[in-house]
Chain A
């Protein structure tokens, strides 16, 4: 079976590897690159624990082959913190108790991050809509909404200063 060479930018660094076509991108991240922050919670593309950004858009990395990411740009949860500074979305989850077991959290963070990129002042409904592809069993979503609202406010303040 022929492997393919891929060059994909992950969290700002170019990563190269030879991969089988059937290698799911989530397995590439976790098992090849050892970026285990992205998680697997189901096998039918429902739970969203595997959410990462592909060219700026949040997608389910379990429903994408690594070969498809050649030449593209990916952001995972490990890429949110920059120079020792947490991103406001991460701070929001911490301040507002938006996580309990932490397993769905990376997916929620990436979806929340992406939402704020194009909607800096989302309503509660818009936040719930945006995260409707990310399942959580622990939090009941209430504090996740608050976490995103906190982050939105923090980003706005950051831009104001």
Chain B
């Protein structure tokens, strides 16, 4: 319950933080919400010699839509996403996701940037970012670069961030008219990680045909998985019950779950099917459509 000793820095600018990261390299960890890192440190499973607290850096907690892009600062707290009128109205999938992370107390500190950068395959935002086709903005001492979410999650607890980069921003293209999304998470109780989670974002064109589908899967692989074949199948189709059923089947086949206390491989795989059906149905409803 007691973490080991470490040195602590609380930089007030990004360059300061980045310099510290370059100085201390792999012996340092960033502290944002701390709701994943501090529990690991208390169990002595994470033992950074240096902790760089980025909470004092201004300008990282914005939440605004501009020029057809929703820009979410990395330090935006999950509770703020949960309560944002803008997010609830136009990006409900993000609201769905935020509100099932941890519990309400954890959400007052936990940040979306931390949820993405920590890259625990059980974290919820990654699948949603895949479904939305979001972009991650990484800032280093040499400047910013943009990484598509689809290239961001490279391995178990590993992202495309370089050791001296900080995730500073998440950019989500504003969904066109006729869009809807939903995140559905099966969990054993409030506060638990997902047994399985499914993010579905669809756009239905004026003729009722699916113009785009994005499907992300939580906790059924070493990284969040994209349901490519399910997405491809839905594209260009009228989303009726059989269609959704088939897509859900394809998503289940794409899953690579491991057996653990949350469930057997068979159960988890079948839950991908069940949850994909529910997520797509809800997404379609929000898109203004109805399952025939």
Contacts and interface: CB of A to CB of B under 8 A. Distances in A.
Direct contact, A vs B (beta carbon within 8 Å)? yes
Given A21-B51, A133-B104, A133-B191, A64 B5 contact: no
Contacts of B104: 58, 111, 129-130, 132-133
A67 B7 CA distance: 11
Contacts of A4: 8
Interface residues of B, number: 30
Contact of B109 (A24, A64, A111): A64
Interface string A97-117: 000000000000001000000
Contacts of B53: 67-68
B34 A57 contact: no
Nearest to A55: B108
B236 to A, nearest CB: 40
A133 B102 contact: yes
B206 interface: no
Contact of A67 (B2, B10, B35): B10
Contacts of B39: 44-45, 63
Interface string A18-37: 00111010000000000000
A160 interface: no
Chain A: number of interface residues, binned into ranges: 20 to 34
Interface string B27-40: 00001001100110
Given A45-B39, A132-B190, A1 B105 contact: no
A21 B103 CA distance: 26
Interface of B is mostly: loop
A51 B105 contact: yes
Contacts of B43: 43-44
B108 A59 contact: yes
B7 A59 contact: no
Most buried by A among B10, B34, B104: B104
Contact of A2 (B1, B7, B42, B79): B7
A64 B109 CA distance: 9
Contact of B34 (A1, A63, A132): A63
Contacts of B178: none
B191 to A, nearest CB: 6
A46 interface: yes
Interface of A: 1-2, 4, 20-22, 24, 40, 43-46, 48, 51, 54, 57-60, 62-65, 67-68, 70, 111, 129-130, 132-134
15 contacts: A1-B7, A4-B8, A21-B7, A21-B51, A22-B5, A22-B6, A24-B3, A43-B1, A58-B105, A59-B105, A63-B35, A65-B38, A67-B10, A132-B191, A133-B106
Given A133-B103, A133-B191, 10 more contacts: A1-B7, A21-B6, A43-B42, A45-B106, A63-B106, A130-B104, A132-B104, A133-B105, A133-B106, A134-B105
